[in-house]
């Protein structure tokens, strides 16, 4: 399927393909598909469309909030990341195919089997990534990861969803993010390439703009909070010193919203680093709902993601909110950092 061909013309909209059409078409390739998965993804698109409209009004919400902490209906004004969490919980949790939900904003996994169902999917998300940037009108995002409930015979604690969810990233059956910026864009993979959609505000649908995205193997741009470099591992400091040499010739970009920094890298290449620091000795980003979904996307696009010891996607999480060091982006750029981490130093010119 392509944005410019394949689907033909529809009422003057040549090749218009919405995300729902795309998911359904992809699903048809799998004979065992039941439609449950596309219904689940539609829960995510509905929630994020609502959220996109809320993000756009963040300044207005603040004005209402400032006049006595209550909105026009007399309700307490909630912080946007709380609203995002409630929206996603509601819209995804409503899907009967979903057995449990996990979020950055909830301490434990929300087990939906308690409501009398045994949905096979486990959905994890960071409802509003980069939320501290909301107040200054800088892009934010939502990240999601989808796992399948394992055959219970694999687990000693049969049926314990808190344990069932602790699966390595390679087992994700879907992952993606929504970036709330000048335009709202959704990028997803179900293990068959990475596809990008933009929300067309006039028709209210996510429309396909790019299929099978590939990340350039090389791009001399790094993205890191360099104010922390005093406590980065010595090998990372050596790498950053090298990038600043005239011979290496790197540039730097850092938004401070992971989704925004990642999106730039996916589209243009480069590398994002969040190494261990004194304040965050295991890194800052969360393995299960930040690093894993982005690592699946980058690998599907031909890039790579490591924690300094190995592939992010092969890490078996020990707890839901586990953090990890992260080096992610263009394949060759990640390989250069890996070379430094292994003590090999700068690549041959
Ligand atoms: P969240 O808002 O979901 O807690 O995530 C914030 C993260 C991520 O978006 C960003 O890459 C990183 O924090 C920035 O951290 P520093 O401020 O330490 O650079
Ligand atoms: Mn985040
Ligand atoms: Mn968050």
Low-confidence ranges of the chain (pLDDT < 50): 3-10, 64-68, 154-158
- How much distance in Å is there from the Cα of 89 to the middle of ligand 3? 14
Whether residues 158 and 235 fall in one domain? no
Does residue 61 form part of some domain? yes
Pairing of strands 271-274, 221-223: parallel
- How much distance in Å is there from the Cα of 118 to the middle of ligand 3? 27
Does residue 5 form part of some domain? no
Whether residues 42 and 173 fall in one domain? yes
To test the pocket of ligand 1, the residue of 105, 229, 257 to mutate (highest count of ligand atoms within 8 Å of its CB) is 257
Residue that is last in its domain, among 124, 151, 182: 182
What is the torsion angle, in degrees rounded to the nearest 10, for the CA atoms of residue 32, residue 211, residue 257 and residue 64?
-80
Q: How far apart are CA 138 and CA 117, in angstroms?
A: 40
Whether residues 55 and 176 fall in one domain? yes
Q: How far apart are CA 142 and CA 137, in angstroms?
A: 16
CB 57 within 8 A of CB 245: no
CB 318 within 8 A of CB 166: yes
pLDDT confidence of residue 43: 93
Which residue has the least CA distance to atom 3 on ligand 1?
129
Which residue has the least CA distance to atom 18 on ligand 1?
225
Q: How far apart are CA 334 and CA 64, in angstroms?
A: 45
Start-to-end Cα distance in the chain: 41
- What's the alpha-carbon Rg for the chain, to the nearest Å? 21
Handedness of CA 205, 210, 216, 217 (dihedral sign): positive
Question: What is the CATH classification number for the domain harbouring 104?
Answer: 3.30.540.10
Which residue has the least CA distance to atom 2 on ligand 1?
130
Whether residues 41 and 176 fall in one domain? yes
Does residue 288 form part of some domain? yes
Ligand 1 atom closest to Cα of residue 259? 9
Does residue 234 form part of some domain? yes
CB 321 within 8 A of CB 177: no
To test the pocket of ligand 1, the residue of 255, 280, 284 to mutate (highest count of ligand atoms within 8 Å of its CB) is 284
- How much distance in Å is there from the Cα of 140 to the middle of ligand 1? 10
Does residue 334 form part of some domain? yes
Does residue 97 form part of some domain? yes
* Non-local CB neighbours of 335 within 8 Å, separated by 6+ positions: 304
Q: How far apart are CA 146 and CA 127, in angstroms?
A: 14
pLDDT tens for residues 106-138? Answer: 999 999 876 666 688 999 999 999 988 888 889
Which residue has the least CA distance to atom 8 on ligand 1?
258
- How much distance in Å is there from the Cα of 130 to the middle of ligand 1? 5
Which residue has the least CA distance to atom 15 on ligand 1?
256
What are the respective helix, strand and coil percentages of the chain, to the nearest 5?
Answer: 35, 20, 40
- How much distance in Å is there from the Cα of 129 to the middle of ligand 3? 4
Whether residues 45 and 95 fall in one domain? yes
* Non-local CB neighbours of 152 within 8 Å, separated by 6+ positions: 158, 159, 164
Q: Is 238 exposed, middle or buried (0-12, 13-18, 19+ CB in 10 A)?
A: middle
Does residue 297 form part of some domain? yes
Q: For the whole prediction, is pTM greater than 0.85?
A: yes
Whether residues 162 and 258 fall in one domain? no
Whether residues 56 and 148 fall in one domain? yes
pLDDT confidence of residue 76: 60
Whether residues 83 and 167 fall in one domain? yes
Q: How far apart are CA 339 and CA 238, in angstroms?
A: 11
What is the torsion angle, in degrees rounded to the nearest 10, for the CA atoms of residue 271, residue 275, residue 280 and residue 285?
30
CA distances from 344 to 41, 270, 301, 319 (A): 43, 20, 27, 33
Question: What is the CATH classification number for the domain harbouring 295?
Answer: 3.40.190.80
- How much distance in Å is there from the Cα of 140 to the middle of ligand 2? 9
pLDDT confidence of residue 75: 61
Residue that is last in its domain, among 182, 200, 233: 182
Residue that is last in its domain, among 135, 151, 182: 182
Whether residues 141 and 253 fall in one domain? no
To test the pocket of ligand 1, the residue of 104, 124, 129 to mutate (highest count of ligand atoms within 8 Å of its CB) is 129
Residue with tokens 């690549």: 347
Three-state secondary structure along 108-144?
CCEEHHHHCCCCCEEEEEEEEECHHHHHHCCCEEEEE
Handedness of CA 290, 81, 206, 21 (dihedral sign): positive
- How much distance in Å is there from the Cα of 334 to the middle of ligand 1? 20
- How much distance in Å is there from the Cα of 128 to the middle of ligand 1? 10
The residue range of the domain holding 42 is 34-182
To test the pocket of ligand 1, the residue of 258, 260, 280 to mutate (highest count of ligand atoms within 8 Å of its CB) is 258
pLDDT confidence of residue 110: 93
Whether residues 137 and 39 fall in one domain? yes
Q: Which ligand is in closest contact with the Cα of 260? A: 1
Residues with CB under 6 Å of ligand 1 are 104, 126, 129-132, 225, 256-258, 284
**Strand ranges inside the chain, DSSP E:** 9-10, 13-14, 98-103, 110-111, 121-129, 140-148, 174-180, 184-189, 194-200, 205-210, 221-223, 251-252, 271-274, 304-306, 326-329
Whether residues 242 and 145 fall in one domain? no
pLDDT confidence of residue 160: 83
Q: Is 76 exposed, middle or buried (0-12, 13-18, 19+ CB in 10 A)?
A: exposed
Among 4, 9, 166, 193, residue whose Cα is nearest residue 100: 166
Q: Which two structure tokens, joined as six digits, stand for 170? A: 């390679």
Total number of domains in the chain: 2
Whether residues 137 and 240 fall in one domain? no
Does residue 214 form part of some domain? no
């Amino acid at each position: 399927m392509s944005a410019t061909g394949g689907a033909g013309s529809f009422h003057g909209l040549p090749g218009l393909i919405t995300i729902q059409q795309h998911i359904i078409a992809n699903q048809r390739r799998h004979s065992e598909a039941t439609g449950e998965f596309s219904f689940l993804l539609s829960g995510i698109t509905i929630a994020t469309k609502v959220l996109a409209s809320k993000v756009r009004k963040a300044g207005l919400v603040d004005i209402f909030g400032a006049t006595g902490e209550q909105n026009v209906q007399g309700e307490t004004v909630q912080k946007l990341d709380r609203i995002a969490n409630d929206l996603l919980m509601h819209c995804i949790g409503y899907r009967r195919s979903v057995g449990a939900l996990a979020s950055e904003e909830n301490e434990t996994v929300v087990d939906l089997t308690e409501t009398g169902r045994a949905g096979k999917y486990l959905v994890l998300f960071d409802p509003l990534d980069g939320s501290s940037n909301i107040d200054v009108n800088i892009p934010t995002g939502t990240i999601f990861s989808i796992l399948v409930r394992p055959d219970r015979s694999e687990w000693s604690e049969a049926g314990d969803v808190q344990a069932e969810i602790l699966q390595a990233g390679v087992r994700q059956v879907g992952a993606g993010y929504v970036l709330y910026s000048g335009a709202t864009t959704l990028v997803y993979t179900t293990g068959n390439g990475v596809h990008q959609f933009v929300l067309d505000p006039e028709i209210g649908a996510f429309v396909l703009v790019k299929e099978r995205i590939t990340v350039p193997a090389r791009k001399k741009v790094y993205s890191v909070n360099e104010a922390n470099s005093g406590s980065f591992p010595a090998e990372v400091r050596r790498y950053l010193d090298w990038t600043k040499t005239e011979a290496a010739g790197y540039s730097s970009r850092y938004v401070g919203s992971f989704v925004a920094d990642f999106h730039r890298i996916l589209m243009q290449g480069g590398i994002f680093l969040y190494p261990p620091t004194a304040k965050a000795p295991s890194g800052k980003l969360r393995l299960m709902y930040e690093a894993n979904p982005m690592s699946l996307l980058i690998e599907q696009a031909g890039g790579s993601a490591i924690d300094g010891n190995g592939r992010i996607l092969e890490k078996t999480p020990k707890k839901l909110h586990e953090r990890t060091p992260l080096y992610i982006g263009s394949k060759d750029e990640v390989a250069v950092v890996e070379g430094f981490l292994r003590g090999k130093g700068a690549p041959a010119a």
